[in-house]
Amino acid sequence: MLFNILVLLGTLVAMEGVGTLAHKYIMHGWGWWLHRSHHEPQLGMLETNDVYLLALAVISLALVAVGKAGHAPLQWVGGGVAAYGALYVIAHDGFFHRHWPRTVRPVGRYLTRLHRAHRLHHAVKGRKGSVSFGFFYAPPLKRLVRELRRNRGSGL
Ligand SMILES: [Zn+2]
Ligand SMILES: [Zn+2]
């Protein structure tokens, strides 16, 4: 049991790396047509960007199914992917973008930095020149601002 929980937690941590890379190279790369809606003013509750969340759900369900079919502990990897998806919805949609019934102010240094870093991610409207692609880890804000200026300076 302990091993399974470690697999789940390990997956959760690894998913931040996967999520950061996917956001940077897929969502701001060839997958921009789906992510674009998220960098534009929002019209309704749903955006085409939510397709990525759906993909995450399909992947986690597939992993759970394969794991249960005799390839343990893949179901716990699937559980970790699902947990990351749920945390993403809470942090990104709820906390960063305030899609919650009431506004929640960031408290503490970690959450404040995370929140501001995501604001900086949205400081760039287009596909290129953005900074801070992670959801639960943010580089120091000063570094992000410097990076943003440099990107703007080079015409990105
Ligand atoms: Zn983005
Ligand atoms: Zn966002």
pLDDT digits (tens, 9 = 90+) for 25-48: 999 999 999 999 999 887 777 899
Distance CA 96, CA 103 (A): 10
Q: 139: part of which helix (H) or strand (E)?
A: none
Cα(73) to centroid of ligand 1, in Å? Answer: 32
Distance of CA 101 to the CA centre of its chain: 21
Q: Which ligand is nearest to the CA of 28?
A: 1
Residue owning tokens 């692609």: 133
Q: What pLDDT shows up at residue 107?
A: 87
Q: Give me 139's structure tokens.
A: 């580089």
Q: Which ligand is nearest to the CA of 42?
A: 2
Distance CA 63, CA 73 (A): 9
Cα(97) to centroid of ligand 2, in Å? Answer: 7
Q: What pLDDT shows up at residue 156?
A: 64
Q: What pLDDT shows up at residue 86?
A: 97
**Burial letters for 48-85: b for 16+ Cβ neighbours within 10 Å, e otherwise?**
ebeebeeebeeebeebbeebeeeeebbbbbbbbbbbbb
pLDDT tens per residue, range 76-123: 999 999 999 999 999 998 889 887 777 778 889 999 999 999 999 999
Cα(133) to centroid of ligand 1, in Å? Answer: 7
Q: Which ligand is nearest to the CA of 95?
A: 2
Q: What pLDDT shows up at residue 29?
A: 97
Cα(118) to centroid of ligand 2, in Å? Answer: 6
Cα(43) to centroid of ligand 1, in Å? Answer: 17
Q: What pLDDT shows up at residue 140?
A: 97
Cα(74) to centroid of ligand 2, in Å? Answer: 30
Sorted by where each begins, the domain ranges of the chain are 2-153
CA atoms within 13 A on the CB side of 90: 8
Cα(64) to centroid of ligand 2, in Å? Answer: 28
